[in-house]
Structure 1
């Protein structure tokens, strides 16, 4: 298990910051956002919380739904996205 150096654990990357290189926007850490995974175990979407935290009870909950294909690189401490406005959906829950 220790032989493959390109393996990343969710417990490690949850502390990585999400950065969109398309517009320079920072989206907090993966820990404060969510992933949508399909029945086959494939990542489908990043759900980015625009409210700045999971426990903000008194405001409208706004999120960005970013397709996993927009993830360009998972670096040492960041997850680099290249997401145009035409592929990002703004949703309220």
Structure 2
């Protein structure tokens, strides 16, 4: 098997870190990945741990296009994106 292949089951415990500002976004298993119909990774959907829960219990999420993923290491996923470039959704 190709040693460059990484299984999602192994990557669930990888921590996501933005090197642009040092923010940590928990582990991949606590977030989502969007994959298109051809199997191409398109976007990370990250739980915004800094957002306050509203009265109605809605959480905020951050959409990170896959081009901002710079490296998948042995225990981390490194993204490099300015906060102004991120799209926050509920």
Query: Which TM-score applies when normalising by structure 2?
Result: 0.87
Aligned to 2:43: 45
Q: Over aligned residues, Cα RMSD in angstroms?
A: 1.5
Per-residue deviation at 1:86?
A: 3.4
Whole-angstrom CA distance in 2 between matches of 1:14 and 1:43: 16
Whole-angstrom CA distance in 2 between matches of 1:32 and 1:17: 10
Q: Matched residue of 1:86: which SS?
A: helix
Per-residue deviation at 1:51?
A: 4.5
Q: Which runs of 5+ in 2 are unaligned?
A: 51-55
Task: Output one character per residue of 1:29-59: Cα deviation in whole Å (capped at 9) or x when no partner.
Answer: 000000011111101110001248xxxxx62
The answer to whether the Cα contact below 8 Å between 2:16 and 2:27 also exists between their aligned partners in 1 is yes
1:1-93 equivalences under 5 Å are: 2=1, 4-51=2-49, 59-92=57-90
Per-residue deviation at 1:84?
A: 1.4
Whole-angstrom CA distance in 2 between matches of 1:80 and 1:6: 17
Aligned residues: 85
